[in-house]
Amino acid sequence: MNFIDKLITVFNPEKGLKRFQARRKLEILNTGYSNHGASTTKKSMLGWQSAGGGVKKDIYKNRKKLIERSRDLYMGTSVATGALKTINTNVVGSGLKLKAAIDNETIGISDEEAEAIESLIEKEFELWSKDKIDNLGTMNFYQIQELVFLTVLMNGECFIKLNYFETPKNPYSLKLEILEPDRIYTPNNMISDKSVVEGVKIDKNGRIEGYYVSSEHPLDATGGVNEKLIKVYGSENQKNIIHLLFTERPEQVRGIPILSPVIENLKQLGNYTEAELMAAVISGMYAIFIESEAENSSGADVGELEAVENDSLVDSEDETTIELAPGMIMGLNPGEKAKATNPGRPNAQFDPFVTSILRQIGSALEVPYELLIKHFTASYSASRAALLEAWKMFRKRREWFVENFTQPVYEEWLNEAYLLGRVELKNYGTDFLIDKAWCGSQWNGPSQGQIDPLKEANAAVIRINNGLSTRTRETAELNGGDFEQNIRILAKESKLLTEKGVVLNAETIQILERDEE
C-alpha cells in the first residue's frame, strides 16, 4: 500500500482497500512467467527443484554416470538396444558410399576430364576403404562407420585418431584408430589448469587445440597410465584426431548419450516388463498339492519335501527360498490347506500402458513409435507419415555424420593419394578454394524404402518428368542405388540380350529364333 492509498484509507477505509486490491490484481496480471512456469507459490510448482547451472555443473558433472547407464541399457534393455540400432541402421547401415563430385568449373577442367578423374578417385578410394584400415586390422571403412556412429549414439561422442603406417597389399598408409571416450580425461597434474576441460586442451583463442589421450582404458590398465596430448592438427596441417559429439549447450566440449533424457523411463519400463514377465511365468506353473490325513510314518514333515527335483534346483543352499517349476507336486502337512490365487497374468493392461510410454520415448528420440518397435499396422497414410517424420531425423544425422567424419577422412585420404601420385589433381595445394573443389563428394547410404513401391515409383517418375528431381537423386532415395552404375549395367545387359536374341518387356519374355549361318 503506497502513501496515497494510506492517506485515502484514513478518510475512507473502504475506498482505500478497494484501491489496494485493484493494484494487487494489476501486479499479478503483469508478473509474466512468475505466475505460470516460474511460479514459486503455486502448489503444483512448490516441489520443483531446479538450478541454473552451466555446462560444467549440468553436463560434465553427470556425464560419466549417464554414459555408464546408457551402456547398461543398451546391453540389457530391449527397447534401448532397438532404438540405437534402428537409428544406426537407417543413418549409416552397411556404410555410406563415396560418389566423387568435383567442382570442375572452379578447377578449370572440362566435364569429360572431371568424369574420368572422378571414376579414378572412386576406384582408388574403394581400394583403400575395403581393406582392413583400422589400427587393429579387423574392419574396413564401412564397418568402422557403423561402429563409430553407434559409439556416438551410446556415449554421446567418439574419438578417431588418424595414424600412418604401411600394411601389405595396400599402397595407402592412412589408418583409423577408434578410441573409447573414457580414454580422454584431464591428467591429475593438470586438474587446476583452466585451459584443460574434461581432457580437452583449449588454446588462448578459445578453440580446441588437442585432447589428452591415455595409453589404455583406465579401468583395464594393469600398471601406470600415461596421458599424451594429441593436437587436432599436425605440423603439416594434417588432421590428427577427429572428435564426434552431440552438443546441446554452448561451450560444450564433451558429449552425452542420446538416451540421456529417457534413461529413467527406459529403466523403469525395463523393470516393469521384467516384473510382468516373471509374474506371467509364475502364473503358468500348474501345481498339485497333496494333503495327508495322518502323520508321516517316517516322522518327516511332508511340507519339507522338495517340490522341485534336486537336479533342477537353482539355489538349494538357500533355505529361505521356495522354488517353483512347471508341473510341480507339493506336499502339505496335516491340517494345511492350499489356497488358490489368481495373479491376473498376462496383464490385459500391459500393452496399452507400455505403448503409451514407448510413444513418449520415441518422441524424445525422434523415432516414431511404429518404427521404434517395428509395428506397422496402421493405414498406409499413417505409416508413411511416421516413416517420413523419422527420415527427417535420419537425414539430419547422416548429414552431420558426413560433415564431421566421412568427409574429413576422405579429404585426408585424397591428400595422401595425391602425394603418392596415385591421382593427378590440377593445381592442388595452391589454393584452399581449389582444394575444396577437388574434395567435393556425395555420400549415399540406406534409402528410405517404400511402403507401397508402385505409388513411390510413379511419384518418382512424375517428379523427374516435371523437373522437380533428378534420376540420380531418385535412384539413391528409392533403393540407395547409383544411377550411373545402373546405366552401365543396363547397357551391358542390353548387349547380352541382343547377342542371345532375347526380347524382354514388362509382360512376356520371347526367345527369338536366330538363323544359324
Q: Cell 545387359 identifies what position?
A: 493
Helix (H) or strand (E) holding 193, with range, is none
Point out which residues pair with 404 in neighbouring strands.
none
- 386 burial (CB, 10 Å; 0-12 / 13-18 / 19+) is buried
Instruction: Residue 74: name the closest of 61, 83, 65 by CA.
Output: 83
H helices, E strands: number in the chain = 18, 13
Find where cell 578417431 sits: 160
**DSSP state at residue 94:** T
Length of the chain: 517
Can you give the pLDDT of all 517 residues of the chain as single tens digits? 566 766 677 667 778 778 777 877 766 665 667 777 777 777 787 777 777 788 888 899 999 999 999 999 999 899 999 999 999 999 999 999 999 999 999 999 999 999 999 999 999 999 999 999 999 999 999 999 999 999 999 999 999 999 999 999 999 999 999 999 999 999 989 999 999 999 999 999 999 999 999 988 888 877 678 889 999 999 888 999 999 999 989 999 999 999 999 999 999 998 988 888 888 887 777 566 666 665 554 444 444 444 555 566 666 666 666 666 676 666 667 776 766 656 667 778 888 899 899 999 999 999 998 888 888 777 778 888 888 899 999 999 999 999 999 999 999 999 999 999 999 999 999 999 999 999 999 998 888 877 778 888 898 899 999 999 999 888 887 877 788 888 888 888 888 988 888 887 644 444 444 444 4
Up-side HSE of residue 473: CA atoms within 13 Å toward CB? 8
Tell me if 246 sits within 8 A of 255, measured CB to CB: yes
Q: How far, in Å, are 37, 150, 231, 408 from residue 163 at the CA level?
A: 52, 22, 13, 14
Amino acid, single-letter form, for residue 419: L
Peptide bond into 261 cis (omega under 30): no
Q: What is the DSSP letter of 406?
A: I
Across 232-260, b (16+ Cβ under 10 Å) vs e yields beeeeeebbbbbbbbeeeeebbbbbbbbb
Quickly count: other Cβ atoms within 10 Å of residue 292's Cβ: 14
Quick count: other Cβ atoms within 10 Å of Cβ 23?
13
Q: Which of 143, 48, 53, 90 is nearest to 365 (CA)?
A: 90
Contact between 447 and 433 (Cβ < 8 Å): no
Residue 324 · residue 282 · CB < 8 Å: yes
* CA 44 from centroid of its chain's CA atoms: 35
Q: Is 136 exposed, middle or buried (0-12, 13-18, 19+ CB in 10 A)?
A: exposed
Count CB neighbours of 144 within 10 A.
22
Measure the CA–CA gap between 55 and 232, rounded to whole angstroms: 22
DSSP-assigned letter for residue 58: I
Residue 136 CA, chain-centre distance (Å), reads 24
Cα 480 from Cα 21, distance rounded (Å)? 69
What does the alpha-carbon distance between residue 308 and residue 291 come to, in Å, rounded to a whole number?
17
Residue listed under C-alpha cell 587393429: 136
Burial 354-383 (b: 16+ CB within 10 A, else e): beebbeebbeebebbbbbbbeeeeeeeeeb
What is the rounded distance in angstroms from the CA atom of residue 412 to the CA atom of residue 403? Answer: 13
What does the alpha-carbon distance between residue 403 and residue 398 come to, in Å, rounded to a whole number? 8
Q: Evaluate the omega torsion of the peptide bond into residue 346 and state whether it is cis, within 30 degrees of 0.
A: yes
- Give the three cell numbers for residue 294: 495322518
Beta bridge partners of 97: 444
Contact between residue 421 and residue 400 where contact means Cβ atoms under 8 Å apart: no
Outline where 47-140 has alpha helix (H).
Answer: 55, 61-76, 78-91, 104-107, 111-129
